[in-house]
Amino acid sequence: MNEGAWRGVVLAAGLAAAVPATTGCGGAVGSPRPQWRVEVSTDASIPQLGDRLLLEVLDDAGQPACAECRRQFGVLGPEQWDFSFGVVPPDPEARFRVRARLYRSSRSGLDGLPEGTSLIDAVGLLPVPAPVREERVVLHLALGCFGMPSDLLGHRTCDANTGELVPEPLLEPPLEVRPALPVNDPCLAELPPDMVCVSVGAYLIGNENRPAPSPAIAPAPEHLVRVGPFALDAREVTVGQVRNSIQAGVAVEPVPRESDDAALYGACTYLGTSTAANDDLPINCISALDAAAFCDAWGKRLPTEAEWEFVARSRGLDFRYPWGDDDDLCARAVAGLGRSSFVRQELAAESTVCRRPEAPDTDSWGPRASGSLPDLTPLGVWDLGGNVAEWTADAFAPYSEDCWSQGDPVLVDPSCRSPWTPPNPTDSPLQAARGGAWNLGSLPAETTARQYLPAATPHPSVGFRCAVSL
């Protein structure tokens, strides 16, 4: 914290509220007054898990102690932390409580106050009697307390060690010397070629405000997950990579292209082991089981849904699409080139929105070489929004199922392995797939959109990329 840059403003009831340590609120820097200086810290990712901070000084009934005892701040980035504010009790023997809530503006009401439980909430008691000089205490917003609102009437708040509600603690002074963190960044190590390193991070998987074709694949309820570190292929696996591996002895093979373009497998990119014409195209028409076998042969694995979405959202940002919020799908991704005669129930309905009416025969029926359009994340990963959807390592399960709830409030590297039984069971366990595809529209291209297919079923819309745990 920048000690010399703290600024405060005196409030009517004898309370002083402050702003981020690096920012002023218009008041001049003066001599420290006798007060509690409350420093608010967090170990949560900013602004991924919260872009607003609500600070309050409360009375014993849980109400603001004065007219100016509630302040909201926009949180733009980690450089704005730590926050601090001063409390000057009008009565030295009065008991006050301070509360901080970190939340996202997209989860707030018209008044800007947080709604729901997608937040980190902490309450602490100020010591009495009041200090005779400025004294510092710390209120910590712990990632492990995400989704656990405080019980103001019961005087309970979340314990960072257990994630459970406990009696409100007495706030204590900060550690003057913070322990040095060990430097152990796996992203500094040498990676396999053409892979992107993703350091450990936490984010909210899903989006309760986005539509879905059916309740089963709705990206809700949201869950707080922690993933990484891992590396992910920067590009989808190509025909050439698969063909070379088959020639080297991998005993699985994708479905080859049918000669009839209108047939189910008429858009497959694989032409056989002896034909290199499509080597630069992403592989499709491959089952999840065979995709996993290729990754395994290369010393890799399929990414989990949580890892895939973390990358698609550039480590948890609320981007609508992997490239950002630009909704010009046809200019950004290989998508919307479907054929009306080819529709599969398991994936979102096909779309021809990007086919050109004046020259329909010049548009490719299937995937294109990576980099054909700027479908690129800020992390440097290509074609998450189009070309082919991608198998993940997870058996499909709605976010309401148990495998997405074990370990609440924080799910660490979650992965569903037990098949979910849908209302109309299929002949094969269902596997989760992610991302847009050449024949699909804008909804599957969204970062939080979910899809599923029988794991043993090859599909012209679906290919894969691999990951490596670090």
Are 307 and 248 part of one and the same domain? yes
Tell me 170's DSSP state.
B
Query: Which of the listed residues 133, 167, 201 is the one where a domain comes to its end?
Result: 167
Is 130 part of any domain?
yes
Is 176 part of any domain?
no
Is 465 part of any domain?
yes
Residue 230 tokens read as 């891992």
Percentage of the chain modeled with pLDDT above 90: 49
The CA radius of gyration of the chain, in Å to the nearest whole number, is 26
Query: What pLDDT was estimated at residue 17?
Result: 41
Query: What pLDDT was estimated at residue 168?
Result: 96
Is 177 part of any domain?
no
What pLDDT band is residue 203 in, cutting at 50, 70 and 90?
confident
Residue 211 tokens read as 């539509």
CA atoms within 13 A on the CB side of 168: 26
The mean pLDDT value of the chain amounts to 84
Calculate the CA 449 to chain-centre distance: 12
Are 272 and 135 part of one and the same domain? no
More confident residue, 346 or 426: 426
Are 136 and 234 part of one and the same domain? no
Are 228 and 367 part of one and the same domain? yes
Query: What pLDDT was estimated at residue 134?
Result: 87
pTM for this predicted structure:
0.81
Query: Which of the listed residues 167, 193, 217 is the one where a domain comes to its end?
Result: 167
Residue 102 scores a pLDDT above 80: yes
User: Do 126 and 97 contact (CB within 8 A), yes or no?
Assistant: yes
Query: What pLDDT was estimated at residue 359?
Result: 56
Are 128 and 200 part of one and the same domain? no
From 71-80, 343-352, 398-407, the region with the lowest mean pLDDT:
343-352
Which of 163, 141, 231, 230 is closest to 195 using CA atoms? 231
Are 222 and 371 part of one and the same domain? yes
Helix or strand (DSSP H, E) at 264: none
Looking at residues 193-217, what average pLDDT do you find?
A: 89
Q: Which domain holds residue 270?
A: 184-470
Are 118 and 203 part of one and the same domain? no
Query: What pLDDT was estimated at residue 441?
Result: 92
Region of 182 on the Ramachandran plot (φ > 0 left; ψ -120 to 50 alpha; else beta): beta
Residue 295 scores a pLDDT above 70: yes
Is 174 part of any domain?
no
Calculate the CA 373 to chain-centre distance: 24
More confident residue, 235 or 160: 235
Are 190 and 143 part of one and the same domain? no
pLDDT tens figures, 441-463 = 999 999 999 999 999 999 999 99
What pLDDT band is residue 408 in, cutting at 50, 70 and 90?
low
Which of 226, 182, 267, 271 is closest to 414 using CA atoms? 226
More confident residue, 76 or 45: 45
Query: What pLDDT was estimated at residue 121?
Result: 96
Query: What pLDDT was estimated at residue 21?
Result: 36
Is 95 part of any domain?
yes
What pLDDT band is residue 28 in, cutting at 50, 70 and 90?
very low
CATH code for the domain of 340: 3.90.1580.10
Residue 18 scores a pLDDT above 50: no
Residue 11 scores a pLDDT above 50: no
Our count of domains for the chain comes to 2
Is 437 part of any domain?
yes
User: Do 173 and 138 contact (CB within 8 A), yes or no?
Assistant: yes
Query: What pLDDT was estimated at residue 355?
Result: 83
More confident residue, 189 or 369: 369
239-247 and 288-297 are packed helices; what angle lies between their axes, rounded to 10 degrees?
A: 70
Are 262 and 408 part of one and the same domain? yes
Are 160 and 189 part of one and the same domain? no
Are 225 and 313 part of one and the same domain? yes
Query: Which of the listed residues 110, 140, 167 is the one where a domain comes to its end?
Result: 167
Is 173 part of any domain?
no
Nearest-angstrom CA–CA distance, 284 and 67: 62
From 151-165, 283-297, 396-410, 435-449, the region with the lowest mean pLDDT:
396-410
End-to-end CA distance of the chain: 32
Query: What pLDDT was estimated at residue 302?
Result: 98
User: Do 250 and 294 contact (CB within 8 A), yes or no?
Assistant: yes
Residues 6+ positions from 155 with CB-CB distance below 8 Å = 167, 168
Strand 230-233 relative to strand 52-58, pairing: unpaired
Are 62 and 90 part of one and the same domain? yes
Query: What pLDDT was estimated at residue 84?
Result: 84
Residue 31 scores a pLDDT above 50: yes
